[in-house]
Structure 1
Amino acid sequence: MHINPIPERLKQARNKIGISQRELGIRIGTDESSASGRMNHYEKGRHVPDIQTLKKMADELKVPLNYFFCEDAQSAEIAILVAALTAEQKTQLIEALSCSETE
Structure 2
Amino acid sequence: MDGYPNVTAVDDQTFESEVLSCPVRCLVEFGATEVRSSRDILQILDHLGSQYQGRAKMFYVDIEKYNDLFRRYNILPNTIIRFTEGQPSGELVGIHEYSDYVDLLGLG
Q: So what's the TM-score if we normalise by structure 1?
A: 0.28
In terms of fraction of residues, the more helix-rich structure is 1
Q: Based on CA coordinates, which of the two structures has the bigger radius of gyration?
A: 1
In terms of fraction of residues, the more strand-rich structure is 2
User: Which one has more relative contact order, counting CA pairs under 8 Å at least 6 apart?
Assistant: 2
